């Protein structure tokens, strides 16, 4: 179980950190997503910071387990909100969302089981 926990935590942190970087550097993909979901462009920074803190929290969870659990829970809620944002505008392109959501849910499950 420990190997699954470490693997999923590292994979989730890398996925989440890479998403955070795309938001924070101003990559075109997050901008297009914000436009498509009719969200304010200044949310790009907010969402990037939330993702970065989530990734950091997951990694800090190795030293402080409660922090890792809170970070995993927060990321699951973040991606649940992303689903709502997609569905609100009628977007059915959910493959990217599903990868992130399934990874974060799996991470939360193994974190809670650990």
The predicted-structure confidence for 94-111, as pLDDT tens digits, reads as follows 999 999 999 999 999 999
* pLDDT mean across residues, the chain: 95
Contact, 16 vs 96, CB < 8 A? no
Q: Going from the first residue of the chain to its last (114 residues), give the mean pLDDT of each consecutive group of 10, the final group possibly shorter.
A: 94 97 94 92 96 98 97 98 94 92 97 93
pLDDT of 93:
86
pLDDT score at 81: 96
Q: What is the DSSP string of the chain?
A: -HHHHHHHHHHHHHHHHHHHHHHHTT-HHHHHHHHHTT--TTHHHHHHHHHHHHHHHHHHTTTSHHHHHHHHHHHHHHHHHHHHHHHHTT----HHHHHHHHHHHHHHHHHHH-
């Amino acid at each position: 179980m420990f190997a699954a926990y470490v693997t999923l935590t590292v994979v989730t942190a890398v996925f989440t950190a890479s998403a955070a970087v795309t938001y924070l550097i101003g990559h075109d993909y997050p901008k297009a997503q914000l436009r498509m979901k009719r969200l304010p462009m200044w949310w790009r920074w907010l969402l990037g910071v939330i993702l970065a803190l989530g990734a950091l929290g997951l990694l800090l969870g190795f030293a402080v387990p409660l922090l890792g659990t809170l970070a995993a829970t927060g990321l699951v809620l973040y991606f649940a909100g992303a689903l709502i944002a997609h569905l609100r505008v009628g977007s059915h392109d959910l493959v990217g969302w599903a990868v992130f959501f399934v990874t974060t849910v799996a991470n939360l499950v193994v974190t809670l089981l650990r």
